[in-house]
Structure 1
Amino acid sequence: MEQAWLWFGVAGLIVVLELASGTFYLLMVALGVAAGGVAALLRADGPLQWVVAAIVAGVAVWLLRRSRFGRRRIKVDASADPNTNLDIGQRLHVEAWRPDGQARAMYRGAEWDVELMPGEVPDAGWFVIREVRGSRLYVAHVAA
């Protein structure tokens, strides 16, 4: 009986560590350790408890990997992701363009370097920010 409480105590400790890490993998390991505790309650010998804990933890981690929670997120280019950079999708007014397709424009109280996205016409007017690379804004015409 004491051995079972040791297993459950370790499982609880792993759950606390899981709360600090933010992934589900330690939770799956804690499930395996708890299964080792159940095996101890059922009076299995020491090596069998370890085998049960290892198998349950391994299967739980494998199932987690195959679920949507265990899949790796696709890295998104932060320069064009509106969820990462709140400037993307905002509008600004460009007074005049230089012949090389670049300009300076006021945006958020400061002057920024502005460049046209490929295929855009350098006319004065309102533009929407499509990308931000360093201190340069890449813009396209506002769709009417």
Structure 2
Amino acid sequence: MQPSYVWFSLAVLLIIAELTTGTFYLLMVALGLAAGGVAAMAGLAFPAQAALAALVGVIAILLLRRSRFGKTRRAGSVASNPDVNLDIGEEVSVAQWGADRRARVSYRGAEWDVELAGDQPPAPGRFRIVELRGNTLIVKPRQG
């Protein structure tokens, strides 16, 4: 079997594995393996093929890490992440606040506890949901 077939076969296997993981790192290693296959087709010796495959793979991973696709996202708090809680950013109307900066509002057909975030004085009006803690909506005054 030709050495280039081995390199390209391994690259294809990594691409298939990449489809199951959802990251791009195995794809970058597969690029390195493909470079090793090209080096084998060019007639280079195995040590040169392996060195080229490793070099291309490492450079591809470093470039990926510098791109927006390789940046790790800070998860932060799930309670205030609008990708997890679709209520974040929605608005509620508070008619009256209690002494403890809490109120009860009707939202999505149910009664919810509401707590005012920050140090603003509690006043009736429209508020934006910024966080969910259990069944309590944490709100801030609506901007504009």
Question: Which range, TM-score by smaller chain?
Answer: 0.7 to 0.9
Q: Distance in 2 between matches of 1:61 and 1:142?
A: 43
Poorly superposed stretches of 4+, deviation over 4 Å: none
Equivalent AA in structure 2 for residue 52 of structure 1? L
Kindly state the Cα deviation for residue 91 of structure 1 after the two structures are TM-superposed.
2.1
Q: Distance in 2 between matches of 1:7 and 1:20?
A: 21
Equivalent AA in structure 2 for residue 14 of structure 1? L
The unaligned stretches of length 5 or more in structure 1 are: none
> 1:38 maps to what in 2?
38
Kindly state the Cα deviation for residue 143 of structure 1 after the two structures are TM-superposed.
4.3
> 1:94 maps to what in 2?
94
Matched position secondary structure for 2:138: strand
Distance verdict in 2 for CA 1:44–1:86, change over 3 Å? same
Q: Distance in 2 between matches of 1:36 and 1:125?
A: 66
Kindly state the Cα deviation for residue 118 of structure 1 after the two structures are TM-superposed.
2.3
TM-score (norm 2): 0.85
> 1:3 maps to what in 2?
3
Distance verdict in 2 for CA 1:126–1:64, change over 3 Å? closer
Distance verdict in 2 for CA 1:39–1:125, change over 3 Å? closer
TM-score (norm 1): 0.85
> 2:72 maps to what in 1?
72
State yes or no: 1:19 paired with 2:19: yes
State yes or no: 1:115 paired with 2:88: no
Matched position secondary structure for 1:68: coil
CA RMSD of aligned residues (A): 2.1
- Percent of pairs with identical residues: 49
How many pairs align? 144
Distance verdict in 2 for CA 1:28–1:143, change over 3 Å? closer
> 2:128 maps to what in 1?
128
